[in-house]
Chains A and B, each alone.
Chain A
Amino acid sequence: MFMQINNLKVHYPIRGGFFNRVVDHVYAVDGITMEFEKGKAYGLVGESGCGKSTTGKSIIGLEKISSGNIIYEGEDVTNKRRDRKSAYNRDIQMIFQDSHSAMNPRKRVQDILAEPIRNFLSLSPQEERKRINELLAIVGMPEDSKLKYPHEFSGGQKQRLGIARAIATNPKLIIADEPVSALDLSVQAQVLNFMKDIQNEYGLTYLFISHDLGVVKHMCEHISIMYKGRFVETGETKDIFENPQHIYTKRLLSAIPEVSPTGREDRKRERVNVETHYQKEHSKSFDDNGRVFDLVPIKESHFVAASPTVKEVI
């Protein structure tokens, strides 16, 4: 395990009243704990507004952490994340959903790719050029594309450039925030295949943030389901899909459309059942404030949020 996130919280103040005082907080991320092992892919799944993107951003240092800490290779880096020269910043990189708006439209591809290199590696101009050619070769783009501007590429190509930039400094962890949700099916397949290839080749760790359970299932060994800033269930992909415990996970799984028209009447009935069950069990699955309970282990790798009083039921 090379990275650990302990009880991470991101709270946004809500200001109001006469002196614009802090009247309340939005608990965007409210106490999550994760561990990353080298070369594995971790999925973070949830509906919009559940705090999954905030989690990713706070790990990389784009969001202020209210409390909790991040241990990276045995060192507490919680307050060093924004330090320009720190190794942490070099080793953790991010891929964004909309690669078009993540790239400066007035820079050529070679300058976009050179940015992380200039920031973190001290290379001579020749070495830098060589590295850029290398990166373009890794993501399967022709060498002459380095003189072009972002708008000259298609969505899939832009996403690949985004990946090229993320791997420029040989990072160890890549946080991918919905990397394929803006892409068409066939292009999505290209990008996913390619992300798997570079993972195998360079031993990368991924934190894969997505709302698409199909994609996450395909990419990740470990999945965490997030709801209202907390984990409701976390475990190996197999555990989550074959043996979901939390009512919220069950509801999420039943909502995914299956790519087969056979038996859709049954699925609809099943969905309605799960939904009524969800409404009925809602009070038991969440505490009085609607907050998700703390995680309780079911087995070594599978945790589920459960009330301390009904532990024995599970």
Chain B
Amino acid sequence: MKTTDELLRIKNLHTGFRIKDTYFDAVDNVSLTLRKNEILAIVGESGCGKSTLATSVIGLLDRNKTRIQGEILYKNKNLALMNEEELNEVRGLDISMIFQDPLSALNPLMRIGEQIEESLIYHTDLTKEQRTERVLELLGQVGINNPERVARQFPHELSGGMRQRVIIAIAISCKPQIIIADEPTTALDVTIQAQILDLLIDLQNETGAGIILITHDLGVVAEIADRVAVMYAGEIIEEAPVEELFNNPKHPYTRSLFNSIPQMSQENSRLNVIEGIVPSLINLPREGCRFSSRISWIPEEAHEETPTLHEISPGHFVRCTCWKHFHFKSDIGGSHHVHAD
């Protein structure tokens, strides 16, 4: 059973990027909590702000070009207000990150063993021998068969799946409380992806860490997440436990996304297409329902003036009221019919 201890609480987070002296919020008023022993998936298409949210938490954004407002509370400390030195104490020790492209996340000139050792040197006071031992132990833990050999190798000598395992070994080296995984399997083949996902679940069961999983792949979410937040245009538009979200999606955007997955549709049927395009950061409508322009056949009255998240069943939040009136455009004869499910 999952416990309900709260690990991380994000409150009204705004992360804005500066474009010609004006800040545009890529993450717009996001509130989230991460509990112990939980995999929280953040899903959305490119440009929805999911990666920005993750990098805000771990403080990897350029302070000169970004503005972070709101609170990121970890152990009663606000990460958003920390300076680089304080953050260095947290990064790698309490919160660590797994990146999408393992090759560019590893130093090509350093041996694997040294790279894993780095954060041990920084955060722990183990002796040289203890560190070497720990490195081999970590490599074994992430399922690498001959740790002694791999520790002496360079990143280019390893396959993509092996590199990602090394990245995970680095991430868990100091037993962090929180792991942020930004598209950890996007660059990998499906068979390797399955292995890495299984590894993440096993590691989590062992360590009890909370994982924030950033992904665009709903298949991955269905496979490992406990709770899901769907983002669109910088906002969370739906949040629910994973079973609830997949069996009972409410927001028009979530439903449209599900309907555009080839796997789920019947053979030879047409896929659902979401009209229009994701608005760019500068052109983002900051008032009203941000999805309204892409479901233009839904009357304007259906939307809230200032959409907020409503809890429609325990733990299931949906933004705006338009979901009550939503139907797919292709539903013939349903144009005047109001869905009240």
Residues of A with Cβ closer than 8 Å to B? 47-48, 154, 156, 184-190, 192-193, 196, 211, 213-215, 217-219, 237, 251-252, 254-262, 264, 267-268, 271-272
Residues of B within 8 Å of A48, CB to CB, are 160, 189
Which of B97-105, B125-133, B259-267 has 4 or more CB atoms under 8 Å from chain A?
Answer: B259-267
Do residues B243 and A262 form an inter-chain contact, with CB atoms below 8 A?
A: yes
Q: How far is the CA of A301 from the CA of B315 in the complex (A)?
A: 50
Do residues A184 and B45 form an inter-chain contact, with CB atoms below 8 A?
A: yes
Do residues B261 and A185 form an inter-chain contact, with CB atoms below 8 A?
A: yes
Residues of B within 8 Å of A268, CB to CB, are 198, 201
CB-nearest residue of chain A relative to B44? A184
Do residues A259 and B271 form an inter-chain contact, with CB atoms below 8 A?
A: no
Which of B109-117, B171-179, B211-219, B300-308 has 4 or more CB atoms under 8 Å from chain A?
Answer: B211-219
CB-nearest residue of chain A relative to B276? A186
Can you show 24 pairs from A to B with CB atoms below 8 A apart? A48-B160, A185-B45, A185-B216, A185-B257, A185-B260, A186-B260, A187-B45, A190-B273, A196-B270, A211-B190, A217-B263, A218-B265, A218-B267, A219-B262, A237-B267, A255-B194, A256-B219, A257-B190, A257-B219, A258-B263, A259-B261, A261-B246, A271-B198, A272-B198
Give the shortest distance, in Å, between B21 (CB) and chain A (any CB). 24
Do residues B219 and A259 form an inter-chain contact, with CB atoms below 8 A?
A: yes
Assess whether B312 is interfacial by the CB under 8 Å rule. no
Assess whether B222 is interfacial by the CB under 8 Å rule. yes
Q: How far is the CA of A47 from the CA of B188 in the complex (A)?
A: 9
Among B190, B258, B267, residue most surrounded by chain A Cβ atoms (within 10 Å): B190
**Contact status of A184 and B222, CB under 8 A, knowing A189-B273, A259-B263:** no
Do residues B190 and A189 form an inter-chain contact, with CB atoms below 8 A?
A: no
Give the shortest distance, in Å, between A279 (CB) and chain B (any CB). 12
Do residues A193 and B273 form an inter-chain contact, with CB atoms below 8 A?
A: yes
Residues of A within 8 Å of B219, CB to CB, are 214, 256-259
Do residues A215 and B262 form an inter-chain contact, with CB atoms below 8 A?
A: yes
Do residues B270 and A218 form an inter-chain contact, with CB atoms below 8 A?
A: no
Give the shortest distance, in Å, between B188 (CB) and chain A (any CB). 9
Do residues B223 and A257 form an inter-chain contact, with CB atoms below 8 A?
A: yes
Q: How far is the CA of A260 from the CA of B264 in the complex (A)?
A: 10
Residues of B within 8 Å of A215, CB to CB, are 262
Residues of B within 8 Å of A214, CB to CB, are 219, 261-263
Q: How far is the CA of A229 from the CA of B261 in the complex (A)?
A: 29
Residues of B within 8 Å of A262, CB to CB, are 243, 246-247
Do residues A188 and B260 form an inter-chain contact, with CB atoms below 8 A?
A: yes
Residues of A within 8 Å of B258, CB to CB, are 259
Do residues A252 and B222 form an inter-chain contact, with CB atoms below 8 A?
A: no
Give the shortest distance, in Å, between B205 (CB) and chain A (any CB). 12
Residues of A within 8 Å of B278, CB to CB, are 184
B198-236 vs A, CB cutoff 8 Å, 1 = contact: the mask equals 100100000000000000111111111100000000000
B238-256 vs A, CB cutoff 8 Å, 1 = contact: the mask equals 0000110011000000001
Give the shortest distance, in Å, between A90 (CB) and chain B (any CB). 29
Residues of B within 8 Å of A211, CB to CB, are 189-190
CB-nearest residue of chain A relative to B46? A184
**Contact status of A256 and B190, CB under 8 A, knowing A184-B45, A218-B267:** yes
Residues of B within 8 Å of A267, CB to CB, are 223
Assess whether B283 is interfacial by the CB under 8 Å rule. no
Do residues A213 and B190 form an inter-chain contact, with CB atoms below 8 A?
A: yes
Chain B, interface size: which category? 35 or more
CB-nearest residue of chain A relative to B262? A218
Among A156, A190, A219, residue most surrounded by chain B Cβ atoms (within 10 Å): A190
CB-nearest residue of chain B relative to A194? B273
Do residues A264 and B262 form an inter-chain contact, with CB atoms below 8 A?
A: no
Assess whether B340 is interfacial by the CB under 8 Å rule. no
Assess whether B332 is interfacial by the CB under 8 Å rule. no
Q: How far is the CA of A215 from the CA of B242 in the complex (A)?
A: 24
Do residues B271 and A193 form an inter-chain contact, with CB atoms below 8 A?
A: yes
The 7 closest A-B pairs by CB, nearest first: A257-B219, A189-B260, A218-B262, A214-B263, A189-B271, A255-B194, A186-B274
Do residues A217 and B262 form an inter-chain contact, with CB atoms below 8 A?
A: yes
Residues of B within 8 Å of A196, CB to CB, are 270
Residues of A within 8 Å of B191, CB to CB, are 47, 251-252, 255
Among A184, A251, A256, residue most surrounded by chain B Cβ atoms (within 10 Å): A184
Q: How far is the CA of A267 from the CA of B191 in the complex (A)?
A: 13
Do residues B271 and A192 form an inter-chain contact, with CB atoms below 8 A?
A: yes
Assess whether B1 is interfacial by the CB under 8 Å rule. no
CB-nearest residue of chain A relative to B244? A261
Do residues B273 and A259 form an inter-chain contact, with CB atoms below 8 A?
A: no
CB-nearest residue of chain B relative to A237? B267
Residues of A within 8 Å of B242, CB to CB, are 261
- Per the 8 Å Cβ criterion, residues 274-330 of B in contact with A are 274, 277-278
Residues of A within 8 Å of B247, CB to CB, are 262
**Contact status of A259 and B274, CB under 8 A, knowing A184-B46, A185-B216, A264-B223:** no
**Contact status of A218 and B263, CB under 8 A, knowing A47-B189, A257-B217:** yes
Do residues A259 and B218 form an inter-chain contact, with CB atoms below 8 A?
A: yes
Assess whether B119 is interfacial by the CB under 8 Å rule. no
Assess whether B31 is interfacial by the CB under 8 Å rule. no
Give the shortest distance, in Å, between A240 (CB) and chain B (any CB). 13
Q: How far is the CA of A93 from the CA of B278 in the complex (A)?
A: 31
CB-nearest residue of chain B relative to A214? B263
Assess whether B12 is interfacial by the CB under 8 Å rule. no
Give the shortest distance, in Å, between A182 (CB) and chain B (any CB). 10
Residues of A within 8 Å of B273, CB to CB, are 186, 189-190, 193
Residues of B within 8 Å of A188, CB to CB, are 260, 262
